[in-house]
Amino acid sequence: GQNIDQPTEMTATEGAIVQINCTYQTSGFNGLFWYQQHAGEAPTFLSYNVLDGLEEKGRFSSFLSRSKGYSYLLLKELQMKDSASYLCAVINNAGNMLTFGGGTRLMVKP
Amino acid sequence: GAGVSQTPSNKVTEKGKYVELRCDPISGHTALYWYRQSLGQGPEFLIYFQGTGAADDSGLPNDRFFAVRPEGSVSTLKIQRTERGDSAVYLCASSFGGGAGDTQYFGPGTRLTVL
């Protein structure tokens, strides 16, 4: 079966740092994606991890531990425009299907 | 270049009617995917095309749902005898080759409402 868990909602302050966690139990694994989705818009790609460790990309970083079935997305220097849903998704062995978590709605307050 | 486009952006229909949703992938992308997203949830996989063929349709909920991609570019998702439970945002995505590390780029979706 496929099970991907992430918190439903988080709130943080402008300029701060926030970490969004994702745990997964899937029958196949060929990498983990993070997407950002503003209300009513398309999900947009943030990061892809397939090896253990931290990938840094500007204000956003993503971490993966395959042995623990765990990932997090770290957002630094939060801006109001970062208010959105953040989707964690696992790609299957065949590389053709993303299984998504329910998404974490992040609200950034002044 | 242009991203993934989907038409219509909104579709309201009555229970029992037939609908078609269209997806134009990014030019040159051989892989195309359809997902369905209900309010407050993550997208759920429906079907994957590699070129013209449906390589994986395991996510289609029942035989009322069908999708085609006759020339390996534009795809149409077809829903027969629509039900209120079909109401959702239907997202299309494309990727360059369809490999695990290939990023799937999403379109803005079609919001389907079945009355």
DSSP string, B12-55: EE-TT--EEEEEE--TT--EEEEEEE-TTS--EEEEEEETTEEE
Per-residue pLDDT at B98: 77
Q: Which pLDDT belongs to residue A67?
A: 95
- Say if residue A39 is exposed, middle or buried (CB neighbours under 10 Å; 0-12, 13-18, 19+): exposed
pLDDT at residue B84 greater than cutoff 80? yes
Phi, then psi, of A37 in degrees rounded to 5:
-135, 110
Percent of chain B with pLDDT over 70: 99
List, for residues A43-67, the tens digit of each pLDDT value. 999 999 999 999 999 999 999 999 9
Give me the mean pLDDT over the A91-107 stretch: 94
pLDDT of B97 reads 85
Query: What local confidence, expressed as pLDDT, does residue A102 receive?
Result: 96
Give the pairing type, strands A98-100 and A84-91.
antiparallel
Q: Is the pLDDT of residue A14 over 80?
A: yes
Tens-digit pLDDT profile for residues A76-91:
999 999 999 999 999 9
CB contact under 8 A, A45 and B104: yes
Work out the pLDDT band at B100, boundaries 50, 70, 90: confident
pLDDT confidence of residue B2: 83
- B25 part of contact set with chain A, CB < 8 Å: no
Pairing, β A104-109 against β A9-13: parallel
Taking 70 as the threshold, does the pLDDT of residue B1 lie above it? no
Inter-chain residue contact A98 with B102, CB threshold 8 Å: no
- For residues B8 and A1, the model is more confident at B8
Do B100 and A45 lie within an 8 Å CB cutoff?
Answer: no
B18-62 per-position pLDDT tens digit: 999 999 999 999 999 999 999 989 999 999 999 999 889 999 999
Smallest CA-to-CA distance from B49 within B67, B63, B32, B66 is with B32
The pLDDT of residue A94 is 87
Cα separation, B77 vs B19, whole angstroms:
8
The residue of A64, A93, A97 whose CB has the most chain B CBs within 10 angstroms, and thus the best one to mutate to test that interface, is A97
Contact B41/A at CB under 8 A: yes
CB A22 within 8 A of CB A5: yes
Q: What is the CA radius of gyration of chain A?
A: 13
Question: Does A91 sit within 8 Å of B100, measured CB to CB?
Answer: yes
Is any Cβ of chain A less than 8 angstroms from the Cβ of B70?
no
Cα–Cα distance list, A34 to A60, A70, B67, B80, B84 (Å): 10, 13, 27, 33, 31
Q: Are A109 and A12 in contact (CB under 8 A)?
A: yes
CA distances from A96 to A48, A54, A85, B77 (A): 15, 24, 23, 18
